[in-house]
Amino acid sequence: MGNNHVTVLEIDLNAIEHNLNEFKSKLNPETKVMAVVKAFGYGSNALEIAKFLAPKVAYFAVAYLDEGIDLRHAGIKTPILVLHPQKINLEQIIKLNLEPNVYSITLLKAVIEETKSLKVRNYPIHIKFNTGLNRLGFTKKDIPEISALLNSQNSVFVKSVFSHIAASEDLNEREFTLAQINNFKKISTQFISQLSTTPFRHMLNTSGIINYASEAQFDMVRLGIGLYGFANEDAETAKLRNVITLKSVISQINTIEKGDTVGYNRAFKAAETVRTATIPIGHADGISRQFGNGIGYVYINGEKAPIVGNVCMDMMMVNVTDIDCNEGDEVLIFKDQDHIEELAKRTNTIPYELLTAISQRVKRSLK
């Protein structure tokens, strides 16, 4: 089935390449890059981005099995780390040559059991240590049990050891972050010393690369939001190119007389005569109701047009009283990084949430 929806998310692959190279310029030449393409490539198009990046990166990371399946079915041969595998998925993970993040004793035992039952030897797994995010991962006290389990079998081996920084973008938390890095160095060194092989190590995310490349670069870094044009700080984002542009069109222009109302629950009441434009995009497409009633705005012919009343499921109305525009004109729902960051601030969230909310019914287009 083709997607004929007039609302389109444009993805600029050249901008992604520029952003990758910008982050690589902060790293040692031998440091590997893991491109994080989970959540449909942060709301864009994981398959096309992965195909494009495959020759340029060492690894991909996804959150769940299904995302890994999609990449393998698209012909991606690059190693893929599954960040949040579940016991129930292990057979499929192994059959597709996906590499699980192992974060608990239960999961480690299950992976060893599954590889044995599939008669697989030396299957790559990744061991995650929790150093302060307190989300997933082993702790230092687990090392004796993990290493004993690993050293008593030959069906799996540890490809990498990693951890995740809790506040890499917040320099007020520098002391905490440096303690996390130091903790990871100690834990990983102790753990690796118990193994017969030498796994590689990785800890840094996008903001980590910017702020801690000299302290914690290790062998690889994990680049997520930075690929898509955001660096969590203005000066660094300015060096990146815009990847994502969300576009639609004006379906209808209406004149609203003084006293008339617009939209559900009559949320907007005209204090004077105004013109509104109706656009075919709504909260089912990822434009939250929080953007309603003047909080969000779009661009039409270079001018800002505030959202009028409540965002509907499939449509929204904007104020075009002072904008020279016609039915069929292009509307920029997300114009660039500055626009997305401003909308995120106005709704008390972060660009990640706005990007990953863009519904799969919105057509994706590469440029």
Active site residues: 38, 264
Count CA within 13 A, CB hemisphere, residue 9. 26
CA-derived radius of gyration, the chain = 24
Contact (Cβ atoms closer than 8 angstroms) between residue 164 and residue 133: yes
Q: Which is nearest to 343 in space by CA: 241, 208, 240, 244?
A: 244
Can you list the positions of beta strands (E) in the chain? 8-11, 32-36, 59-62, 80-82, 99-102, 123-128, 156-162, 200-202, 220-223, 244-249, 252-256, 261-262, 268-269, 274-279, 297-300, 303-308, 316-319, 330-334, 363-366
3-state secondary structure (DSSP) of residue 182: helix
DSSP category for residue 241: P
Give the span between the Cα atoms of 294 and 307, in whole angstroms: 5
DSSP letter string over 70-81? HHHHTT--S-EE
Q: Angle at Cα 207 formed by Cα 242 and Cα 286, nearest 5°?
A: 50
Rounded to 10 degrees, the C-alpha dihedral 350/179/183/208 comes to 40
3-state secondary structure (DSSP) of residue 57: coil
Give the span between the Cα atoms of 101 and 263, in whole angstroms: 47
Continuous H helices in 140-270:
143-151, 174-193, 206-216, 234-237
